[in-house]
Amino acid sequence: MPLPDGVKTVADRLSAARLNSYEDQVRREVLWIFSAGATPRIMTLEKQCGLPSVHVREILHRLSGMDLLLLDTTGEAVLAAYPFSATPTPHEVRLRNREVFALCAVDALGIPVMLQETATILSRCAYCGSPVEVQAQPKNLTRYLPADIVVWSPTTEEDGCCSLAQSRCPSISFFCTGGHLEAWRHASGQPAGVALSLLEAFEVGGEIFGSLLAQPEPPSG
């Protein structure tokens, strides 16, 4: 299920960015480091990418300016790179022998697709705080509790004052029932957005993140 018209995703921004090979190398390495359960830092990226630290720093600032990642105040570490967060969030994703945190519910559901790994997602209903657990394989959901989980995705776009990680992601949440989602919307002033079934949210996560680590095609000719 595609997101509503007008809602931009990291895949859209990446497509429009037209990154060169060095920029894309750094972007991909940031995601791989996050996927290993670590925080990407300038020194690590310099070694992994074989680039001088000054070039890595310049590339990270460009990627940050395009809202493909979020840097800390020193510019030496990456705080977030969709779908990952370096700091704990309500959405923990347990992979083989490691745990990572996702920026939002849809990001969490996109991680097993992007990494082609089985994952267990642990979160909570944004209204009542009840535990939510989803077990997923790269191509399908295998188990989830409670049975009527829904996901809320806002449709309002950011005003340019901050990244999507700071503006939209905190509202993209799991709810244990549609009734709790409606109660939350009423309490929050009926924000604009779309309610997704868990399967729809999984499909959206796969659509957004499934190709972010795919190898770029070699130039023709």
Q: How confident is the model at residue 180 (pLDDT cuts 50, 70, 90)?
A: very high
pLDDT of residue 218: 47
- Phi then psi for residue 125, to 5 deg, are -65, 125
pLDDT higher than threshold 80 for residue 105? yes
pLDDT score at 217 = 53
For 88-104, the pLDDT digits (tens) are 999 999 999 999 999 99
The pLDDT, as a whole number, for residue 7 is 58
Grouping H, G, I as helix, E, B as strand and the rest as coil, residue 30 is helix
Report the half-sphere exposure of 7 (CA within 13 A, side-chain side).
16
Rounded CA-CA distance 199/1 in Å is 9
Q: Is the pLDDT of residue 83 over 60?
A: yes
Instruction: Tell me if the bond preceding 90 is cis, omega within 30° of 0.
Output: no
Q: Is the model's pLDDT at 119 over the cut of 80?
A: yes
Q: Does 87-209 carry CATH code 3.30.450.410?
A: yes
Q: Cis bond leading into 83, ω under 30°?
A: yes
At 78, is the pLDDT very low, low, confident or very high (cuts 50, 70, 90)? very high
DSSP 171: G
Quote the tokens at residue 116. 């082609």
pLDDT band with cut points at 50, 70 and 90 for residue 2: low
Question: Stretch 152-178: mean pLDDT, rounded?
Answer: 83
Structurally, what CATH architecture does the domain formed by 10-84 represent? Answer: Orthogonal Bundle (1.10)
Task: Tell me the whole-structure pTM to 2 decimals.
Answer: 0.92
Residues 6+ positions from 95 with CB-CB distance below 8 Å: 35, 37, 111, 115, 117, 118, 119
Report CA-CA distances (Å) from 203 to 138, 141, 173, 220. 11, 10, 15, 31
Cβ(109)–Cβ(196) below 8 Å: no
* Contacts for 192 with CB less than 8 Å, ≥ 6 apart: 154, 155, 156
168 SS3 class: coil
Query: Residue 104 carries which DSSP code?
Result: S
Q: What average pLDDT is seen over the chain?
A: 91
| Residues 74-94, mean pLDDT to the nearest whole number | 96
The confidence band for 220, taking pLDDT boundaries of 50, 70 and 90, is: very low
Does pLDDT of 160 surpass 70?
Answer: no
Task: Domain ranges for the chain, please list them.
Answer: 10-84, 87-209
Orientation angle between helical segments 53-65 and 21-35, nearest 10 degrees: 90
pLDDT tens track for 120-144: 999 999 999 999 999 999 999 999 9
pLDDT at 6 over 90: no
Least confident of 56-60, 106-110, 155-159, 200-204: 155-159
Least confident of 8-12, 38-42, 111-115: 8-12
